[in-house]
Amino acid sequence: MRLNHAKDKGKYLLIIAAAAAVLLAAVFCLGLGAPSDNPVTITIFHTNDMHGNVADLAYVAALKSSTPNALLEDAGDATHGGLLATATNGIAIITLMNTAGYDVMTLGNHELEKGVAHAAKLADIADFPVFSANTIYLNGTTCLNNSGNLILESGGKRIGFFGITTTETNVPYSKFICTDEIAAAKNQTRLLKEMGVDLIVTLVHIGNASSSSPTSYHLAMAVPEIDLIIDDHSHTIIQDKVGNTTIVQTGAFLQNLGRVNVSFTSDGPVIETSLISAKTLETRTVDAAYVELYKNRSDLSSYGYDRIIGSLTVDLIANTDDGTWLAHMQETPLGNLVTDSMHWDAEKTMAGTARGKLPVVAVVNGGGIRAGLAAGN
């Protein structure tokens, strides 16, 4: 373009300025549209009530490491149950969870059954935070020397977590107490909102059993500001929603891995939940480091667990394939075997004593029968 006079030059500069303004506006609008058109998505993998069944964490570890913006959480009762947990007082389980890449865990009631000092020891061994906002010493201080909450950043988003443990944990003469679940949850939610988090997640070990009060559903109704409740304790499968609060639970014994995808859009977080069954999980890639560590940790011959003490011709079932806890609901052959063994030992012990001719009754609670025995040695 040839400029003949000042007027043409002014018009030319005006055209350039207008074009630049349009370009800047387009870029600005594109930036504003990004959260809606290309939302940030994080993935929260979660487990609950594993009770020492951690072999399949080899697959979980590999899945987490290959998933962008992924977090891995546990809602408690991981360190109790199974020979490996029993033989090592849960220490081997925490060590394996470290290798699996857990990011946070809350205390279940069984983490506390050996006392609060042992729970604190397990928390110290963990490479990830272990918390429970409502588990406190009798003097009012928190048992694990933390606030019961934390913020994890993933995909540029601030995810606020807090943990709650059921008051069913409370026993007479213990050195700690679990305070009211809902009151603690309201306080933690308020604190996290004040810290400006993008999502509020609670790991609650309270469940949804009819005998429990409150349940995770009561919590969702009482504290609607919670975005996601990762539940535990009742060994149930939950993929549900109460108002704007999503509730999930995977069952038990790592029969499922929970997966929650959270997409942050301009309209707020959109939460989608799903379960990955153990059968599906076991078709995936394993984490080699975890496999090697589990192989070393699961050799229990030094504890005497390689000694054959009997043989079964049929399976003695405690739980069905879908996770139904039969021994917790009805009489079972396995329960009869346990009580018959107790009865036999009691009569043997009392024989020849002043009480040797008294009748003997043996009783076991179904909650103490956690796993079946397969046919064979």
Query: Over 50: is that where the pLDDT of 304 sits?
Result: yes
Query: Over 80: is that where the pLDDT of 155 sits?
Result: yes
Please tell me which residue, 28 or 41, carries the higher pLDDT value.
41
| Domains identified in the chain and CATH numbers | 39-297 (3.60.21.10), 310-377 (no CATH)
The C-alpha atoms of residue 373 and residue 318 are separated, in whole angstroms, by 8
List of E strands, the chain: 40-47, 70-74, 104-106, 130-131, 135-137, 149-154, 157-165, 176-178, 199-205, 228-230, 237-242, 245-250, 256-265, 268-277
Please tell me which residue, 33 or 115, carries the higher pLDDT value.
115
Give the count of alpha carbons within 13 A of 244, CB side only.
Answer: 11
pTM of the model: 0.80
- Mean pLDDT estimate for the chain: 89
Render pLDDT for 215-268 as a digit per residue (tens, 0 to 9).
999 999 999 999 999 999 999 999 999 999 999 999 999 999 999 999 999 888
The C-alpha atoms of residue 322 and residue 190 are separated, in whole angstroms, by 38
